[in-house]
Chains A and B, each alone.
Chain A
Amino acid sequence: MLDRLKKRLKQVKQYPSVIFGITLITILIITAIVAVIVIPYEEAVLLWRGGAVWAESPRNARPTYVDWFTSEDLPRTEIIDGRDHPDKKTMESMNGVKEFEFVLPLDYQYDGFPREFNLFFEAEYEETRPHVSVKIRTPDGREFATDDFSVQRDSIRRLGQLTELRRQVDGRAPRIGIFMDPDYEDPVPLKGEYEIVVSGYLFEEDADINVRAVSYGQVHGFGGTDHRRRDLGVALLWGTPVALMFGVLAAVGANISTFIISAVGVWYRGLVDAAIQRISEVNMIIPNLPLLILVGMFYSRSLWVMLGVIIVKGVFSPAIKTYRAMFLQVRESPFIEAAESYGTSDKRIIFFYMLPKIIPTLIPQFVTVIPTYVFLEASLAVLGLGDPVLPTWGKLLNDALGEGALYMGHFYWVLQPAFLLILTGLGFAMTGFALDRVLNPRLRRQ
């Protein structure tokens, strides 16, 4: 039987659609494996649910590939850490007070303004906070300086919030005022070497300070970022294993059990069959989505609970009727009669005689049904019933919906997960349809 199946599967190669479909599935599977290896589960959850981890990512940045299609060179995120430039740090001690100065170089060659400009301070002190002032020197020698301020152990200074800077650049946002070329009326960024000079005093013997200057880009990562500076790439990447796992497990759990149950019903007939039929008929009129919404609202939104409900609900699915019709025919086959005549047990007849006869029709159906479960999971997430912890494609769509992404022009937020969902559907559907043609010879083309 396996040999025959293998031979049939070899014919699959004749169908270009199946090669395309299998390629897509393979890519998705590889992506899923890579995602799980590169970003382990805990890290993925942290990256998705964290907060501080996103601080150095821009808000609502487009994906990096957008830069490939624009003539301008869109700014990336630049992080200049004081620790990376020990030679640019000077420290002088007098009377227990230490005077320090960082000169952080920023080679700015982009055609756009940074989305934000922030300074991150990490200070070590016992009681007295260090005093700091910041000066930004442009390539053409202009200088913009802030007032003195004191820094806590971990603190962020956002350039946009410093009013004294705003005053110096004619009321513009500092990220634009500082980086624009003064020769032009319209804001055009001035390219060249900028210097961020951070100087100040430490008032304790053991005190130390470090500073990081972050110029936020307009593009970030391969997936862009959302309104909370989250890297959408994490969700795109991690959504793949989640979607595939969900689809395959739901299809396996629901379809194969349905298949076996309908065979059992047909074989034993009578009460067993009647009971299975009535249960599946009752089950058929209970709608899936509202049931899942109820479970999500009142019990748990965990992906596993949802998967469990879908599988339990799917065991007595309407497909039982289709399979039953096929099995009724098989049951009357002479070879079943022959098997009975040499004393084959009921179990053996069901699993070795009835099931194998129908399996060829089941395989394509099984493959085609996988994406419907992937879509179902996404729909649940869009309705706000996604898993609270895991990053998934559906949750991206849900966030995008909530933040009016398309209205705001954040196309990538909606299109990327939608594209991946479509690819999944396409891959499985194309494979399934071609398999159907190979395994069910009546559909085969001449």
Chain B
Amino acid sequence: MATTNNNLLLQTNDLKTWFEIKKWGFLHVGHVRAVDGINITLDRGESVSLVGESGCGKSSLAKTIMGIHQPTEGELIFEGNNIAAQDEESMRQYKSEIGFVQQDPYGALPPFMSIQRILEEPMIVNGIKDKNKRLKRIHEVMQELKMTPVEDFLKKYPHMLSGGQQQRIVIARSLVLNPKLIMADEPVSMLDASVRVEILELIKKIQSERELAVIYITHDLSTVRYFSERIWVMYGGKIVEQSPVRDLLKEPAHPYTRALLEAISEPDADNIHSFKKVPPGEPPSLLNPPRGCRFHPRCEHKIEGLCDQEIPPDFEVGNERITACWLFKDEEEVGDVAI
């Protein structure tokens, strides 16, 4: 990890977002450790995929980064400022730097607002009072997204558009404030297969044209390869592996990543005779996570007395590759806080 990186956009140091569970409204029961000590870095214009199964804390991490959830502990540093310790006004400013593309395009658009209103809202909220300026910005973004003629769309309501068009509007909304980072939370999982590639291409194109950083959240490894340079694998509220996509696909380090890769279906007729190896057990409860490595109850390479006792630190296993697994305890350990 470079100590002086001018290109650095976002960095987290031991970021934690815990949700308190209460009984009868006041008795403390415990915490859901949705985000539990995460160290990541993101450069400007970089595209990273965040992969993990349902309930592993992907969305909570995304919302913490977007400022919707307050981090419980740790630092969230965006362009050199610690966001976690900021006042409301600069928080809003920070939120406008991140665009959000959601999973369900129909649900993401308020059904009672016209497209024009939907696209204007972020600008109204962020204090752009001049209507002509707002409209000009909308026209620019819509043209960039090839939604022409623009006027035809502006008067419509979300339900009058197709799924692909709706998702384009969601993308347009995330772009009207000229953000530096796009958080794409499974942007294509609810779309028709025929539209998926189109939308992914679009996001990719915008990313390279605008030099946007994109965090692409998915549980579908097959689109990751297509989309991003780096990948973060999340399991049980922690990042278990960070790696360039190519290297990871070739040679996964963490046992969980291996299991994940093995589960990818390839359209091959021979597969009908082979069974996929799936790690036994279930994803850990984030309310009461297992001691030591979160994955150890399901891991076939478990080291007794170590994996089930101590939380593995991050080990550097290759060029820009980090994994949190005791199997690599001979490799160099990454410093806890590296700035």
Contacts and interface: CB of A to CB of B under 8 A. Distances in A.
Contact of B126 (A1, A340, A342, A357): A342
A339 interface: yes
B315 interface: no
B157 A334 contact: no
A338 B68 contact: no
A343 B104 contact: no
Which residue among B110, B157, B173 has the maximum number of chain A CB atoms within 10 Å of its CB? B110
A306 B10 CA distance: 61
A1 B122 CA distance: 17
A337 B102 contact: yes
B275 interface: no
A341 B113 contact: no
A4 to B, nearest CB: 6
B109 A341 contact: no
SS of A interface (majority): helix
A344 B117 CA distance: 14
B125 A353 contact: no
Interface string A1-15: 101100000000000
B218 interface: no
A348 interface: yes
For B25, B68, B98, B100, the residue with the greatest tally of chain A CB atoms inside 10 Å of its CB is B100
B125 A337 contact: no
Contacts of B68: 337, 340-341
Given A334-B102, A334-B107, A343-B125, A1 B92 contact: no
A359 B113 CA distance: 13
B176 to A, nearest CB: 9
Contact of A1 (B93, B112, B173, B183): B112
A213 to B, nearest CB: 70
A334 B125 contact: no
A342 B125 contact: yes
A356 interface: yes
B311 to A, nearest CB: 31
B96 interface: yes
B110 A343 contact: no
Contacts of B103: 334
A333 interface: yes
B98 A341 contact: yes
A342 B120 CA distance: 11
Interface string A118-155: 00000000000000000000000000000000000000
Contacts of A353: 110
B108 A335 contact: yes
Given A4-B157, A341-B68, A342-B125, A334 B104 contact: yes
Contacts of A348: 125
A335 B126 contact: no
Interface in B100-133: 100, 102-104, 107-114, 117, 121-122, 125-126
Given A343-B126, A345-B125, A338 B100 contact: yes
A312 interface: no
Contacts of B114: 1, 3
B121 A341 contact: no
Contacts of B63: 337
Contact of B91 (A334, A338, A343, A356): A343
Interface string B74-106: 000000000000000001110110101011100
B173 A338 contact: yes
A344 B125 contact: yes
Interface in A4-35: 4
Nearest to A359: B112
B112 A341 contact: no
A244 B308 CA distance: 74
B175 to A, nearest CB: 11
Contacts of A352: 121
Nearest to B177: A342
A335 B111 CA distance: 9
A274 interface: yes
B180 to A, nearest CB: 14
Interface in A348-367: 348, 352-353, 356-357, 359
Q: Which of A3, A344, A353, A357 has the most CB of B within 10 A?
A: A344
Contact of B112 (A4, A339, A342, A344): A4
Contacts of B122: 342-343
Given A337-B68, A338-B102, A343 B92 contact: yes
Contact of A342 (B96, B107, B111, B157): B96
Interface string B46-86: 00000000000000000100111000000000000000000
Interface in B159-189: 170, 173, 177, 183
A274 B92 CA distance: 28
B111 A341 contact: no
Contacts of B108: 334-335, 337-338
B113 A1 contact: yes
Nearest to A5: B112
A274 B95 contact: no
A342 B173 CA distance: 9
A333 B113 CA distance: 14
B102 A357 contact: no
A301 to B, nearest CB: 42
Interface string B234-277: 00000000000000000000000000000000000000000000
Contacts of A344: 121, 125
Contacts of B67: 341, 343
A342 B95 contact: yes
B126 A339 contact: no
Contacts of A345: 125
B112 A356 contact: yes
Contacts of B121: 339, 342, 344, 352
B203 to A, nearest CB: 16
A365 B284 CA distance: 46
Given A343-B125, A356-B112, A335 B91 contact: no
Ranked 9 nearest A-B pairs via Cβ: A343-B92, A341-B100, A343-B95, A342-B122, A334-B107, A334-B108, A335-B110, A356-B112, A1-B112
14 contacts: A334-B103, A334-B108, A335-B111, A337-B63, A337-B68, A342-B95, A342-B121, A342-B122, A342-B126, A342-B173, A343-B92, A343-B93, A345-B125, A357-B111
Given A1-B113, A343-B126, 6 more contacts: A1-B112, A333-B107, A335-B111, A337-B63, A343-B95, A352-B121
Interface of A: 1, 3-4, 274, 333-335, 337-345, 348, 352-353, 356-357, 359
